[in-house]
C-alpha cells in the first residue's frame, strides 16, 4: 500500500513514517509544510529508504495537494497535519482555524476528486486523526467513547472538533471512505519540547523550574506514541469507513503524578544532584483548562485486536533516556525556537518571529 501521510515531520507523523517503513512493506509519501514543530531530523533513520518520499507542501494549498494526489496515487491517506498546542491556540486562534479546518477541508476535497476520477484503489481510505479534547472535560467517573458528545473548551479543540465534523460529512454526503481516530495524550521520542513531558524532562536536565498549571490535579490518559501508530496502522488497513475509533492506554495520571515520576526517574538516572522535585513550582492555570480526559478504547480492542504494549512507567523511562541521549535533536529547537517560556505570557509577535525563522532555517541548503 502507498500511504500519504500529512504532517509526517511532526511528532506522531514521523513515528508513523518510521513504523511503516521499518515494520511494513508500505510506501510512504510524507507531506509536510515544515512549520516550527516539524523536523526532518526526526526522519533521518528512514530518509534514504527507497519506499519513503518527502514533499514539502501546505495542506491549505489546493493546487499543490491536488498535484500530490495525482502523482503519488495513494491507496490511503492518514491526515495528521495540525496545529496542536492549546496555549498557542489561545494566543493565536486564527492559525488553528486555518490549518485544522481549512486544511482538512482542502484535503477532503482533493481526496474526493481523486476518488471520483477513478484514480483511487477500490479499498481507498481517508483516516482523519483527531483528539480526545473534542469532548471537553470528562466527569470523575465517565469515559469518552465513540458516541460521547462534542464539547470543546479551547480554540485548539474547537478547531479539531470542526475538522471531525467536516470529515464525517464528506463520508455521509459524498461517500468518501473516511475513518476518524481520536487519541489521548501522546508522549515519546522526537516530541517538540513545548508539551508537558519533554518540556519537564529538558527543564530538569538543565536544572530549570518545572512549572505546573494550577494545583496539578488535571488528569490525562497517557499513550506512548509507538502504541498509537500501531493503532493507526491497524485502523487504516482494517477499520470500517464511516466509523470512529478511540485510542487510549487506560493509563490515567494527574499532571502532578507525571511530574513526580519524571523527577524520580531522573534522580535515579542522574544521581548526585538535589532532588528534582524541588524544582517543581505552581503557576497560574490555563484559561479553559479541562480537568480530565479519559478514553474507553474497548471498540478498537474488540474489533481490531489492538492493545497498548507499553506500560507508562517503563515507557516514560525510555522516553527520558532518549532525551538524555539525543540532545543534538532538541538543543537547536531549544535555542532557536522555544526556550521553555510560558507561551500565554510572551508577546505574540516574538513567538511567531521565532517560528518563522525556524521554518526558514530548515530549508537552508545543508553541506554534505
In tens, the pLDDT along 220-256 reads 999 999 999 999 999 999 999 999 999 999 999 999 9
Catalytic site includes residue 133 = yes
Q: Using alpha carbons, list the distances in angstroms from residue 269 to 194, 256, 262, 264, 299.
A: 23, 20, 10, 9, 38
83-106, pLDDT tens digit by residue? 999 999 999 999 999 999 999 999
Specify whether the backbone of 305 is left (phi greater than 0), alpha (psi in -120 to 50) or beta: left
> What is the model's pLDDT at position 358?
45
For residue 169, the number of C-alpha atoms closer than 13 Å in the C-beta half-sphere is 10
State yes or no: is 252 an active-site residue. no
132 catalytic? Reply is yes
pLDDT of residue 346: 36
Average pLDDT across the chain, whole number: 93
pLDDT at position 344: 55
pLDDT exceeds 70 at position 355? no
Catalytic residue among 36, 156, 293, 338: 156
The 10 Å Cβ neighbour count of residue 40 is 18
Residue 350 pLDDT > 50:
no
Provide the pLDDT confidence category of residue 189 given band limits of 50, 70 and 90.
very high
User: What is 2-186+224-250+294-308+341-362's CATH topology?
Assistant: Rossmann fold (3.40.50)
pTM metric for this prediction: 0.93
pLDDT of residue 361: 45
Q: Which of 72, 71, 7 is nearest to 33 (CA)?
A: 7
The predicted-structure confidence for 286-314, as pLDDT tens digits, reads as follows 999 999 999 999 999 999 999 999 999 99
Please report, for residues 30, 36, 186, the alpha-carbon distance to residue 361 in angstroms, rounded to integers and kept in the order given.
20, 10, 27
Higher pLDDT, 339 or 248: 248
Residue 345 has pLDDT above 60, yes or no: no
Residue 168 grid coordinates: 464525517
- CA torsion sign, 273 to 277 to 281 to 287? positive
Residue 52's SS3 state is: strand
- Per annotation, catalytic residue among 133, 227, 261, 290: 133
For a pLDDT cut of 90, what percent of the chain falls above it? Answer: 91
In which band, very low, low, confident or very high, does the pLDDT at 352 lie, cut at 50, 70 and 90? very low
End-to-end alpha-carbon separation of the chain, Å? 32
Which residue reads 493503532 in cell numbers?
231
Q: How confident is the model over 10-25, as pLDDT tens digits?
A: 999 999 999 999 999 9
Whether the per-residue pLDDT at 130 is higher than 70: the answer is: yes
Q: CA-CA-CA-CA torsion for 223, 229, 232, 234, nearest 10 degrees? A: -110
Answer whether residue 30 shows pLDDT above 60. yes
* pLDDT at residue 169 is higher than 80: yes
Confidence at 158, pLDDT banded by 50, 70, 90: very high
Catalytic residue among 58, 83, 87, 132: 132
State yes or no: pLDDT of 362 exceeds 70: no
What average pLDDT score do residues 338-353 get? 59
Find the mean pLDDT for residues 120-138.
97
> Are the beta carbons of 58 and 318 closer than 8 angstroms?
no
Q: Is residue 171 a contact partner of residue 273, using CB atoms and an 8 Å limit?
A: no
Spell out the alpha helix ranges (H) of the chain: 11-23, 62-72, 86-91, 93-96, 103-116, 155-174, 196-205, 225-238, 255-269, 298-304, 312-325, 327-336, 348-362
**8 Å CB contact between 292 and 137:** yes
Residues 42-63: tens digit of each pLDDT: 999 999 999 999 999 999 999 9
Q: How confident is the model at residue 272 (pLDDT cuts 50, 70, 90)?
A: confident
Distance CA 218, CA 145 (A): 20
Q: What percent of the chain has pLDDT over 70?
A: 93
Say what the pLDDT of residue 368 is.
Answer: 34
User: pLDDT tens, 102-118?
Assistant: 999 999 999 999 999 98
Is the pLDDT assigned to residue 349 strictly greater than 50? no
* Structural domain spans, the chain: 2-186+224-250+294-308+341-362
Amino acid at each position: 500500500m502507498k500511504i500519504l501521510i500529512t504532517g509526517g515531520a511532526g511528532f506522531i507523523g514521523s513515528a508513523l513514517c518510521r513504523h511503516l517503513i521499518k515494520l511494513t512493506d508500505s510506501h510512504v509519501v510524507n507531506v509536510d509544510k515544515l512549520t516550527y514543530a516539524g523536523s526532518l531530523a526526526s526522519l533521518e533513520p528512514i530518509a534514504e529508504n527507497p519506499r519513503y518520499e518527502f514533499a514539502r507542501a501546505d495542506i491549505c494549498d489546493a493546487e499543490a495537494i491536488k498535484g500530490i494526489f495525482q502523482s503519488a496515487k495513494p491507496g490511503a491517506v492518514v491526515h495528521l497535519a495540525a496545529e496542536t498546542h492549546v496555549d498557542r491556540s489561545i494566543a493565536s486562534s486564527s492559525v488553528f482555524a486555518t490549518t485544522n479546518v481549512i486544511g482538512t477541508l482542502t484535503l477532503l476535497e482533493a481526496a474526493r476528486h481523486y476518488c471520483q476520477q477513478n484514480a483511487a484503489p477500490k479499498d481507498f481510505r481517508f483516516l482523519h486523526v483527531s483528539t480526545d479534547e473534542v469532548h471537553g472535560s470528562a466527569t470523575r467517573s465517565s469515559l469518552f467513547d465513540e458516541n460521547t458528545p462534542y464539547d470543546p473548551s479551547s480554540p485548539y479543540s474547537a478547531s479539531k472538533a470542526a475538522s471531525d465534523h467536516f470529515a464525517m460529512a464528506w463520508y455521509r454526503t459524498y461517500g468518501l471512505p473516511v475513518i476518524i481516530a481520536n487519541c489521548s495524550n501522546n508522549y515519546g521520542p522526537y516530541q517538540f519540547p513545548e508539551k508537558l513531558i519533554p518540556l519537564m524532562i529538558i527543564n530538569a536536565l538543565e536544572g530549570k523550574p518545572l512549572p505546573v498549571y494550577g494545583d496539578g490535579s488535571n488528569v490525562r490518559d497517557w499513550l506512548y506514541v509507538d502504541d498509537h501508530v500501531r493503532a493507526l496502522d491497524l485502523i487504516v488497513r482494517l477499520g470500517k469507513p464511516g466509523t470512529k475509533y478511540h485510542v487510549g492506554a487506560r493509563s490515567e495520571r494527574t499532571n502532578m503524578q507525571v511530574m513526580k515520576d519524571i523527577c524520580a526517574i531522573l534522580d535515579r538516572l542522574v544521581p548526585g544532584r538535589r532532588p528534582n522535585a524541588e524544582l517543581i513550582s505552581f503557576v497560574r492555570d490555563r484559561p479553559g483548562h479541562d480537568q480530565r480526559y479519559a478514553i474507553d478504547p474497548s471498540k478498537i480492542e474488540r474489533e481490531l485486536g489492538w492493545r497498548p504494549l507499553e506500560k507508562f512507567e517503563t515507557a516514560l523511562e525510555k522516553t527520558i533516556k532518549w532525551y538524555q541521549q539525543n540532545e543534538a535533536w532538541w538543543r537547536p529547537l531549544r535555542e532557536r525556537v522555544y526556550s521553555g517560556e510560558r507561551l500565554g505570557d510572551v508577546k505574540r509577535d516574538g513567538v511567531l518571529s521565532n517560528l518563522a525563522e525556524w521554518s526558514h532555517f530548515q530549508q537552508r541548503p545543508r553541506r554534505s
